[in-house]
C-alpha cells in the first residue's frame, strides 16, 4: 500500500505501482485518509495516490484503507513537493486534490505555503493537458493567496465554485463547519505548461564495490565536504559495526534540492570487503549517492585496501 521512492525505477510508472494503466489521481495532505478512500471507491478504474507528511495521520489512514481493502490506492509518507519534483512523470496526473492545506497565517511563514506559483508550475508540468488542481479551504486569505499564485503561474485558468458535498466531509471540513466557517473551493485547469522536467539524478542501480585488505588498519576517515558535479557530499563521521566487524559511514548528499542522509557500509563478506549503501531509510540510488560511495572507496584505497571490483551507475565499471 506504500510507495517507497528508494525502491522505484524513476520516474514513477503507474504500471509498476498499481499493476495497470488508469487515470492518476493525486491527493496532497490526505490526513486521516477519508477523502482518499472516497476517491478510490468513486472510480475503481482510477489509480489513487496520496502523500502525507504526518506519521500519525498516515497511521490512521493506513488502518482505514486496510479495512476498506481497496486495491487502487497507494500512500507515500513524506513531502508531496518532493514526490512531485523527483518521482512523478511529466504529463502523468489527471487531477490533484488539496483539501484544507495548512494556511500558515503568519507573514514570516508564508514561504511554507504549498500552493506557490513555483509549485503550481511544477504541477502543471506533471499534469496531463487540461488536468486539474482542486483546492478546498476554510481560510479566506489562503484562498486568495492561492488564486493569486495561480494567476502568477500563468498556466491555470480558474473556476470558483460551491464545494460539492464530499469536500465538506473530511475531518478538517467538519471541524471548520462546526465552527461556522465558510468553505472556499476552486478548480484550476491547466492550460499549458512551462517545462519543468524531472531532474536527472541518475540511475537506479545501487552501486557497490569489492575490496581486499584489513579494515582494522585504515584508521578514521576525517569529516569533509566534497563538491562533485551537481552534488554536495558531506562525510560526517563513521562508526564501527562490531556485529559485522565492519565500518559504517554517515554521509549527507544533496543534489538538485534532493537531500538524503545515507549510511555507507564496509563489511567483510565471503569474497572480500563489500562497500555499498545500507538499505536504511530507503535511500535513492542517485548520481550523488554514487559519488559518495566513490569518495569512501577512494579513501579506503588511499588507506591501503585494494579495489578488486567497482560497479557504479548502470553497472558500468569505471
Ligand atoms: C489541515 S490538514 C488537512 C487534512 C485533510 N486533507 C483533511 O481535510 O482532513 C493538512 C494536512 O496536510 C499535510 N501536509 C502539509 N504539507 C504537506 C506536504 N508538503 N506534503 C504532504 N502532506 C502535507 C499535513 O501533515 C496535514 O495532515
Please tell me which residue in 94, 102, 196, 230 is annotated as part of the active site. 102
Decide: 166 in ligand 1 pocket, CB within 6 A: no
Q: What are phi and psi of 225, to 5 degrees?
A: -115, 130
In a domain, 200, yes or no: no
Contact (CB, 8 A) for 189 and 130: yes
Give the CATH number of the domain where residue 45 resides. Answer: 3.40.50.150
Q: Indicate the pLDDT class of residue 318, thresholds 50, 70 and 90.
A: very low
Decide: 80 in ligand 1 pocket, CB within 6 A: yes
Q: What are phi and psi of 140, to 5 degrees?
A: -60, -40
Residues 233 and 184 placed together within one structural domain of the fold:
no
**Mean of the per-residue pLDDT values of the chain:** 92
Q: Which atom of ligand 1 is nearest to the CA of 83?
A: 20
Decide: 102 in ligand 1 pocket, CB within 6 A: yes
Mean pLDDT in residue range 289-303: 95
Residues 159 and 286 placed together within one structural domain of the fold:
no
Give the Cα separation of 184 and 257 in Å (integer). Answer: 33
For residue 130, the CA-to-ligand 1 centroid distance in Å is 25
For residue 31, the CA-to-ligand 1 centroid distance in Å is 6
Number of domains in the chain: 2
Residue with CA closest to ligand 1 atom 3? 100
Residue 316 has pLDDT above 70, yes or no: no
Decide: 81 in ligand 1 pocket, CB within 6 A: yes
Higher pLDDT, 6 or 138: 138
Residue with CA closest to ligand 1 atom 21? 52
Overall pTM > 0.95: no
Residues 241 and 274 placed together within one structural domain of the fold:
yes
Range of the domain at 256: 208-315
Query: Is residue 102 annotated as part of the catalytic site, yes or no?
Result: yes
pLDDT digits (tens, 9 = 90+) for 27-84: 999 999 999 999 999 999 999 999 999 999 999 999 999 999 999 999 999 999 999 9
Residues 309 and 171 placed together within one structural domain of the fold:
no
Residue 312 has pLDDT above 70, yes or no: no
Give the Cα separation of 109 and 91 in Å (integer). Answer: 31
Mean pLDDT in residue range 198-223: 87
Amino acid at each position: 500500500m506504500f510507495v517507497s521512492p528508494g525502491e522505484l525505477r524513476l520516474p514513477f510508472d503507474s504500471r509498476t505501482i498499481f499493476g495497470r494503466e488508469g487515470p492518476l489521481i493525486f491527493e496532497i495532505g490526505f490526513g486521516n485518509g477519508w477523502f482518499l478512500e472516497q476517491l478510490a471507491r468513486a472510480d475503481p478504474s482510477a489509480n489513487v495516490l496520496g502523500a502525507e507528511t504526518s506519521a500519525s495521520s498516515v497511521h490512521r489512514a493506513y488502518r482505514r484503507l486496510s479495512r476498506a481493502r481497496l486495491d487502487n490506492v497507494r500512500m507515500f509518507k513524506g513531502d508531496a513537493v518532493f514526490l512531485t519534483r523527483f518521482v512523478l512523470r511529466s504529463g502523468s496526473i489527471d487531477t490533484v486534490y488539496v483539501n484544507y492545506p495548512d494556511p500558515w497565517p503568519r507573514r514570516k511563514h508564508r514561504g511554507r505555503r504549498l500552493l506557490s506559483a513555483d509549485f503550481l508550475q511544477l504541477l502543471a508540468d506533471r499534469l496531463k493537458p487540461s488536468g486539474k488542481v482542486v483546492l478546498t479551504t476554510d481560510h479566506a486569505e489562503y484562498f486568495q493567496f492561492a488564486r493569486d499564485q495561480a494567476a502568477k503561474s500563468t498556466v491555470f485558468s480558474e473556476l470558483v465554485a460551491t464545494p460539492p458535498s464530499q469536500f465538506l466531509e473530511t475531518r478538517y471540513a467538519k471541524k471548520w463547519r462546526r465552527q461556522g466557517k465558510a468553505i472556499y473551493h476552486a478548480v484550476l485547469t491547466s492550460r499549458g505548461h512551462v517545462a519543468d522536467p524531472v531532474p536527472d539524478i541518475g540511475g537506479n542501480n545501487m552501486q557497490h564495490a569489492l575490496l581486499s585488505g584489513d579494515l582494522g588498519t585504515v584508521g578514521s576517515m576525517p569529516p569533509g565536504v566534497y563538491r562533485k558535479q551537481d552534488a554536495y557530499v558531506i562525510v560526517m563521521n563513521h562508526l564501527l559495526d562490531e556485529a559485522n566487524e565492519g565500518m559504517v559511514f554517515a554521509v549527507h548528499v544533496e543534489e538538485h534540492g534532493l537531500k538524503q542522509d545515507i549510511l555507507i557500509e564496509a563489511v567483510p563478506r565471503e569474497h572480500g570487503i563489500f562497500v555499498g549503501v545500507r538499505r536504511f531509510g530507503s535511500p535513492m540510488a542517485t548520481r550523488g549517492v554514487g559519488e559518495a560511495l566513490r569518495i569512501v572507496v577512494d579513501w579506503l584505497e588511499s588507506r591501503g585496501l585494494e579495489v578488486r571490483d567497482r560497479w557504479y551507475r548502470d553497472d558500468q565499471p569505471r
